[in-house]
């Protein structure tokens, strides 16, 4: 287009700015500049904007001919167009939150190097690095923001970190405007960032809850022991009758107040809070309270195992 009298300097400058913005992680700005340069170059194909050139065109073509004529791009303009296309394809092929997490992690790393910080900040950054390496860019973004908040507080967390992750809020208005071209037209896409954060938080909570329940349940199940008052057989929580003599099993250690199961190391009942002294344990035969050191029931004489 230079040969046709089109000034492409402005388009060149916008392309260079777009490249610098992309390197800084400013995805939205890079795409806007690239699109603007592309529009400017496209306009040059059918409209030579210099007033001097307009006069020349009037002499060379009629109005009807101008609608049909095609102007050939210069080699420089064609090269810029190809570069813009490659940049656009590269940006569109990146995973969700890849650039955002990479950008925030760099800022977090700079803060760690420049400011005093506690163990929490290092812990959050380590998690961010791990999730980034695992290609979980949403969690990487989340923990890099937490790292920044831990060092600088809410005010120093930056634009992306302006949302309150702990309250599972979606991105603030500024973020939606900044990444509007990435969030799409549909409501689900516009709220993708916040929705993903909420899903991640919920999955983490459910996993921890299930693990804690499973651990507690397995611990209780393994420690509750039922005994047969006749032969001394020891059964588990799921057993109700002795397999040897058919007698109903009783729980080995019980709270004297409410009958709840207790453990040897408990000093108070976990259900009603009754103090548990040495006479907490009961004889499986007659039900009398006995001390932990007793080997024989003082009432019925049964021997304890």
Which residue's entry shows tokens 């970190």? 161
Decide: residue 201, CB within 10 A, 0-12 exposed, 13-18 middle, 19+ buried. middle
- Please give the Cα distance from 42 to 218 (Å, whole number): 69
Q: What is the pLDDT of residues 177-191, one digit of tens each?
A: 554 544 444 344 444
pLDDT of residue 130: 92
Measured in degrees and rounded to the nearest 5, phi and psi for residue 107 equal -65, -40
* CB atoms closer than 10 angstroms to residue 4: 16
Which residue's entry shows tokens 């039900």? 287
Give the pTM.
0.30
pLDDT of residue 35: 80
pLDDT of residue 133: 92
pLDDT of residue 132: 92
pLDDT of residue 162: 40
Of 173, 207, 182, residue with least CA distance to 94? 182
Estimate to the nearest angstrom the gap between the alpha carbon of 224 and the chain centroid.
Answer: 39
The token pair that represents 17 in the structure block: 């700015």
- Please give the Cα distance from 203 to 138 (Å, whole number): 13
Residues of the chain under the 70 pLDDT cut: 1-8, 41-73, 154-225, 229, 250-252, 255-256, 276-282, 284, 287-293, 304-305
């Amino acid at each position: 287009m230079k040969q046709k009298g089109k000034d492409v300097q402005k388009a060149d400058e916008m392309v260079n700015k777009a490249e610098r913005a992309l390197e800084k992680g400013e995805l939205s700005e890079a795409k806007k500049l690239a699109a603007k340069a592309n529009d400017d170059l496209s306009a040059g194909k059918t409209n030579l904007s210099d007033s001097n050139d307009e006069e020349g065109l009037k002499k060379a073509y009629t109005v009807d001919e101008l609608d049909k004529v095609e102007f050939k791009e210069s080699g420089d303009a064609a090269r810029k167009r190809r570069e813009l296309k490659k940049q656009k394809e590269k940006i569109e092929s990146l995973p969700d939150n890849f650039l955002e997490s990479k950008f925030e992690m760099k800022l977090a790393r700079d803060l760690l190097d420049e400011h005093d910080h506690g163990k929490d900040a290092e812990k959050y950054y380590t998690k961010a690095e791990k999730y980034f390496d695992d290609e979980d860019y949403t969690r990487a973004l989340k923990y890099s923001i937490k790292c920044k908040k831990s060092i600088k507080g809410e005010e120093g967390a930056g634009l992306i970190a302006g949302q309150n992750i702990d309250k599972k809020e979606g991105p603030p208005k500024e973020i939606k405007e900044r990444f509007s071209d990435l969030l799409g037209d549909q409501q689900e896409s516009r709220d993708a960032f916040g929705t993903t954060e909420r899903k991640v938080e919920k999955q983490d909570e459910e996993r921890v809850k299930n693990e804690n329940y499973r651990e507690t349940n397995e611990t209780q199940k393994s420690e509750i022991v039922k005994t047969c008052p006749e032969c001394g057989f020891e059964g588990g929580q799921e057993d109700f009758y002795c397999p040897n003599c058919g007698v109903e099993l009783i729980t080995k250690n019980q709270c004297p107040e409410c009958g709840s199961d207790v453990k040897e190391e408990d000093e108070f009942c976990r259900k009603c809070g009754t103090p548990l002294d040495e006479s907490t344990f009961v004889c499986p035969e007659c039900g009398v309270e006995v001390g932990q050191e007793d080997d024989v029931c003082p009432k019925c004489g049964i021997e304890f195992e």
